Amino acid sequence: MPASTLSVSEFFASGRIADLVLAVLALEAAALWLWHRRTGRGVPPAELLGFAVAGAALLLALRAALTGAAWPHVALWLVVAGVAQVYDLARRWR
C-alpha cells in the first residue's frame, strides 16, 4: 500500500472528509446557479447564498473539530453558520 494512502480513520481525523463534502457542496451550488442562469428556473442565486454558506460553515466547524483546533475556532464557524441560517430563514419568511 502506498505511503500516501489514508485509512478511513485517518481520512476522517485529518478533516479531509469535510474537504470532500465542501467540494460537493460547491459543485452543487455552482450547478444550481448555472441551471438558474441558463433556464431562469430553479433556485435564484440569492436563495442559494444562505443555505450554502450555512452548510459550508458547519463543515468548516467540523473540520476544525476533527483536526483539533482550539474551541474558539470551532465556535467562530458555528456562529457564521448560525448567522447564515438566520439570513436564510429571514429571506424565506418574507
Beta-carbon contacts of 2 under 8 Å, excluding residues fewer than 6 positions away, are none
Q: How confident is the model at residue 55 (pLDDT cuts 50, 70, 90)?
A: very high
CA-CA distance, 19 to 74, in Å (whole number)? 15
Q: How confident is the model at residue 2 (pLDDT cuts 50, 70, 90)?
A: low
Number of domains in the chain: 1
User: What pTM did the predictor assign?
Assistant: 0.86
Could you tell me which residue, 46 or 38, shows the higher pLDDT? 38
pLDDT of residue 47: 86
Domain for residue 65, yes or no?
A: yes
Domain for residue 2, yes or no?
A: no
Domain coverage including residue 23: 8-93
